[in-house]
């Protein structure tokens, strides 16, 4: 079934929660300027840490395009999470992601994790407060990302055959 997409298990409530996260992410991208939020800055890292002037110049030239691509990817994910048009139809217990959309999903879930990691203060060490409920969301996104990577790898293996 090449080209049919990949299937990942996801309950309706999970899809709804992910859609809300993606909406918040799109709002962050739309309403926040670089330099105003550490999470947004983490999505556009410094490429020349030893040369702040060159890094600022590069960021000025590329950050808007990078954030536009992140927003486009997030909209692909949001569209993929739309509920069925028929209100009486049961929500499926798995999500089908079109082959062409897999990379956008991978990039968006990774970006969501970066934003939450920034909010939690996670860089190279564990979260400062293991009781913070955002840590559960961060870990859940990691689990979802792992499932998607496994499914994408299986899709690649199948297309190589």
The predicted-structure confidence for 98-129, as pLDDT tens digits, reads as follows 999 999 999 999 999 999 998 888 877 666 67
Averaged over 3-29, what is the pLDDT? Answer: 90
Q: Residue 104 corresponds to which tokens in the numbers above?
A: 């956008």
Query: What's the CA gap between 56 and 41, in Å, rounded?
Result: 12
Q: Is the pLDDT of residue 158 over 80?
A: no
In 3D space, the residue among 115, 104, 44 whose CA is nearest the CA of residue 73 turns out to be 104
Residue 97 CB neighbour total at 10 angstroms: 24
pTM: 0.85
Helix 52-80 / helix 12-31 crossing angle, nearest 10 deg: 140
> How much is the pLDDT for 23?
97
* Cα dihedral sign, 5-29-144-142: positive
Q: Is the pLDDT of residue 85 over 70?
A: no
Place of tokens 């002037």: 53
Q: Is the pLDDT of residue 56 over 90?
A: no
> How much is the pLDDT for 115?
94
């Amino acid at each position: 079934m090449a080209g049919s997409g990949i299937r990942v298990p996801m309950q309706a409530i999970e899809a709804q929660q992910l859609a809300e996260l993606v909406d918040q992410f799109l709002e962050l991208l739309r309403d926040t300027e670089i330099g105003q939020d550490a999470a947004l800055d983490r999505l556009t890292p410094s490429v020349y840490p030893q040369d702040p002037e060159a890094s600022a110049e590069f960021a000025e030239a590329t950050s808007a395009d990078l954030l536009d691509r992140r927003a486009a990817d997030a909209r692909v994910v949001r569209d993929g999470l739309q509920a069925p048009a028929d209100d009486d139809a049961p929500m499926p217990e798995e999500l089908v992601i079109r082959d062409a959309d897999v990379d956008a999903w991978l990039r968006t879930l990774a970006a969501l994790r970066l934003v939450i990691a920034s909010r939690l203060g996670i860089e190279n060490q564990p979260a400062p407060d293991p009781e913070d409920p955002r840590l559960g969301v961060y870990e859940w996104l990691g689990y979802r990302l792992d499932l998607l990577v496994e499914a994408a790898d299986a899709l690649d293996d199948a297309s190589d055959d």
